[in-house]
Structure 1
Amino acid sequence: MSKYTNDAKQLLEHVGGSENISVVTHCATRMRFVLKDANKADVKKVEEIGLVKGTFTQAGQFQVIIGNEVSSFYNEFTQIAGVSDVASKDDAKEAAKQNMNWLQRMIAHLADIFTPLIPALVVGGLILGFRNVMEIKMMSDGTQSLIDVSQFWAGVHSFLWLIGEAIFHFLPVGITWAISRKMGTTQILGIVLGITLVSPQLLNAYGVAGATEIPFWDFGFAQVDMIGYQAQVIPAILAGFVLSYLELGLRKVIPSVVSMIFVPFFAIIPAVLIAHVVLGPIGWAIGSWISNIVYSGLTSAFGWLFAALFGFAYAPLVITGLHHMTNAIDLQLMSEFDGTNLWPMIALSNIAQGSAVVAMIILNRKDEKEQQVSIPAAISCYLGVTEPAMFGINLKYTFPFLAAMIGSSIAAIISVGSGVMANSIGVGGIPGILSIQVPDMLMFAISMLVAIIVPIILTMVFAKTKMGVNAYERLGKR
């Protein structure tokens, strides 16, 4: 008998037994269940299990926070439960979608597209940040930068752009690949489609505004502009789905003996043609419209109000999964304005949630069991992963969650009001400062201090109010 046996048996019982488990898998800290009947799960009893640090339901999955021991616990659980341990996370997601409405399914699709791209976007943001630091004129009485006085750093600056350009200018390739991967179609065709959107033969998207003449394909009866869609998000999404649905449809009508030849041929050619004739221009217009509205709203006289609302509401959006929609908006802002003023607010929200947990660590310093949950949760939150903090501590008590939302809102007003812009998305929490454009780092640091101090103070104040007392009594803490 291992040290996880009793807890595994209890968890199995309280989720409704093996017969109630459709799929179970795990991530870095959580067990993820897709249950046949979610009502059979006794959430209160699950949370009373010694190893369990909290639970929440998201995207159709009942998720149980275990912590760093989740991998070993998962192995023990699957043996006791007699359920398959070969189900992938993709299997779990597909099974979970049976429990979603149309809006949740749409958000899940967006998450499936952008989640595989996040590591590259994080790297790209850091690279742009390093390059911006090298461009600061801090040498020779502020007249020269590092790349002006050092050939080595000039070479590094130029070399890093090789990676930065690959990530951001050729982003449509990653998007169309991610869509083909998600839809179960031929991934190399998705890559080919993406390349046709950013081919060197085309006029670069960044050069369209200043071009005196736009090249075109002349088909005799019609002419099609040869415009590239570097860094464009929506044209790539639209084109990627058209290709996938064409391929899926052709598989149903073309005999399998010749499908390897004719399905790719009759899928990729129409998809590329439709992408450049119809979807590209439409997607570009939609993307520009969305980014202009968001950017204009954030930089207008009422930008502070938008910032306050977004900073306050972002954490609840995480609970619903709607926060995945901001990825597409951020990337579109980056392509239109060489940066995003939306992402800094997201990083500040992460910090605020972690700070509320820090206050709870201080308030509950004598509760050793809760310290085992709250300390790792605060650390992960400050590094950009908010779920353990939000679901394990803040939502359980409620008042720390509210304190974090208020702190995040105030910090967002300062960030937007001072015009803070990020180079890229993906670097969250305190390390998020590395993705901020160099001239804005000081004001972002001030915003970070607000996101740290305000939630801590408010959490401690709320703990002494009726709201805090009721929360403690509800949880049997006093």
Structure 2
Amino acid sequence: MAKFTKQAEELLEYIGGKENISAVSHCVTRMRFVLNDNQKADMEKIEKIDCVKGTFTQAGQFQVIIGNEVSDFYNDFVKVSGVSGVSKDVAKKNSRQNLNWLQRMISHLAEIFTPLIPALVVGGLILGFRNVIGDIKLLEEGTKTLTDVSQFWAGVHHFLWLIGEAIFFFLPVGITWSISKKMGATEILGIILGVTLVSPQLLNAYAVAGGAEAPVWDFGFTQIKMIGYQAQVIPAILAGFTLATLENWLRKFVPEYISMIVIPFFALVPTVLLAHVVLGPIGWTIGSYISNVVYAGLTSAFGWLFAAVFGFTYAPLVITGLHHMTNAIDLQLMSEFGGTNLWPMIALSNIAQGSAVLAIIYLNRDDEEEKQVSIPAAISCYLGVTEPAMFGINLKYIFPFLAAMIGSAIAGLVSVSSGVMANSIGVGGLPGILSIQPQHILMFAVAMLIAIVVPFILTIFFAKNKIAVGKKRI
């Protein structure tokens, strides 16, 4: 008998049997099911299975947290159930039948940015490291930076911008590629489209907004301004979807024997023209409006309220998947204002969830079985990956989740009220401090301390007084 045969049989029974499974796949730590009827899944029984660390439903998928051995469990489950596994992409497509239009839109947005996250994280770390060596005056009694006194570190600082620029300045190339890949269009055409939005011969849209005169393409009867959309999100999204939609539409009519010639030409050329005449200006206007509204909200007299609400609700947004929208807003803020005051609150929310788990570890310090789940979850959370902590621990008990939300709200309020800004999106959790602009690091450290201490104390207080206790008790 295979290692997980018994547990796989139990999961199959409690999930509603083979006939209730529309599709099944797995990711790094979770089994992902698209069920015909989610109500038939007995979550209470499923969560009592030995190797199961939690369950939740997101983006139309019923997900069961297994941990690092999920691939072995998946293989045993497929053998026991007789259900053929599918790829994650197919599972996502099938799961959309359970979503409303807003959830579908968020799902599409998430799928655009998910492939870009590794690059964004690397870019955030690089910009954070450049902060440390180039902007923080730590030497000669606080008067000079490391780059001021060392040619080596000055060279490193200069060199690393090559990568940072490639990630953030040329971000539209990644977005248009990701959309082409997601929609089954030709990926190289998506890349080329992105390059046409950020070409060095184009004048940056912000320079034009600042009064600079853009060169033009002169067609005799009309002229088109040569404006670039470097670091812009929404123009790239609009252009990417236009290209992929047009290409897929052309494939329905163009004969196969001339498709290689006709489709790329009649998909790419009109899209590039539309991108510079219509889509780019519209997207830039929309993006500027969104970022201005968010920035104004965070820096207004009521910014503290906005921050408290966002800090309190960010963790529930993660459960719904709506948090993926913040990636686009963060990137837009970065391009508009040279930094983002939204990202620091996200890092603080990560820390708060981890601190609530830390309190659970303390409360269950004599429970070896509990620690096997909670300790890795806390470490993961402090490094910016909250799912194991949220779904495996905090949502089971309820009160640590509430304590983390309150701690995140207070920390976010302090962060925004102090004007804390991050240079970029980066690693969440504790390493998030590397993304913070040097002049704000001290206040962010104070906010981090709040995000650590408040959830820890509140979790213990709620446990002792049986407040907001969920289905699992201490």
- TM-score, length basis structure 2: 0.96
Instruction: Name the residue aligned to 1:233.
Output: 233
Letter in 1 for 2:314: Y
Shift of 1:447: 0.7
Which residue of structure 2 lines up, in the alignment, with residue 107 of structure 1? 106
Q: Do the aligned residues in 2 keep the contact of 1:206 with 1:230 (CA within 8 Å)?
A: no
- What SS does structure 2 have at the residue aligned with 1:301? coil
Q: Which amino acid aligns with 2:88?
A: K
Deviations 1:130-171 (A, max 9, x none): 112222344444443322322211211111111011001100
Structure-to-structure mapping, 1:298-447, within 5 angstroms: 298-447=298-447
1:409: how far off?
0.3
- Residue 175 of structure 2 is matched in structure 1 by 175
> What is the match of residue 57 of structure 2?
57
Say which is worse superposed, 208-217 or 312-321, in terms of deviation: 208-217
The letter for the 2-side match of 1:135 is: G
What code does the residue aligned with 1:88 have? S
Q: Indicate the residue corresponding to 1:69 in structure 2.
A: 69
Query: What secondary structure, in the 3-state scheme, does the structure 2 residue paired with 1:208 have?
Result: helix
- 1:24 alignment counterpart: 24
- Equivalent position SS for 1:3: coil
Deviations 1:67-101, CA, capped at 9 Å, x for gaps: 1221221121112222224x211111111111111
Q: Tell me the distance in 2 between the aligned counterparts of 1:158 and 1:431.
A: 22
Cα deviation for residue 249 of structure 1 reads 1.0
Q: Are the equivalent residues in 2 in contact too, given 1:55–1:64 (CA < 8 A)?
A: yes
Aligned-partner residue type, residue 338 of structure 1: G
Residue identity opposite 2:221 in structure 1: F
Report the equivalent of 1:92.
91
Superposition RMSD on alpha carbons, in Å? 1.5
SS in structure 1 at match of 2:467: helix
Which residue of 1 is the match for residue 201 of structure 2?
201
Residue 8 of structure 1 deviates from its aligned partner by 1.1
Secondary structure (helix, strand or coil) at the match of 2:64 reads: strand
Q: Deviations over 1:301-340 (max 9, x none)?
A: 1111110000001011111111111110000000011111
Report sequence identity in percent: 75
Equivalents in 2 of 1:184, 1:370: separation in Å?
A: 44
The AA in structure 2 aligned to 1:200 is P
Distance 1:426 1:401 in 2: 24
Determine if contact 2:341/2:419 at 8 Å carries over to the other structure.
yes
Q: Is the 8 A contact 2:60 2:99 kept in 1?
A: yes
The residue aligned with 1:135 is 134
Write the letter of the residue equivalent to 1:54: G
Deviations 1:279-305 (A, max 9, x none): 101111111111111111111111111
Tell me if structure 2 keeps the 8 A contact 1:118–1:426. no
Q: 1:387 to 1:13 in 2, by over 3 A?
A: same
Q: Tell me the equivalent position of 1:163.
A: 163
Work out whether residues 119 and 426 of structure 1, in 8 Å CA contact, stay in contact via their aligned partners in 2: no
The answer to whether structure 1 residue 290 and structure 2 residue 296 are counterparts is no
In 2, Cα distance between the equivalents of 1:368 and 1:358?
Answer: 14
Q: Distance in 2 between matches of 1:74 and 1:185?
A: 31
Q: Which runs of 5+ in 1 are unaligned?
A: none
Report if the CA contact (8 A) 2:131-2:434 is conserved: no
Q: Which runs of 5+ in 2 are unaligned?
A: none
Q: Aligned partners of 2:401, 2:141: CA distance in 1, in Å?
A: 47
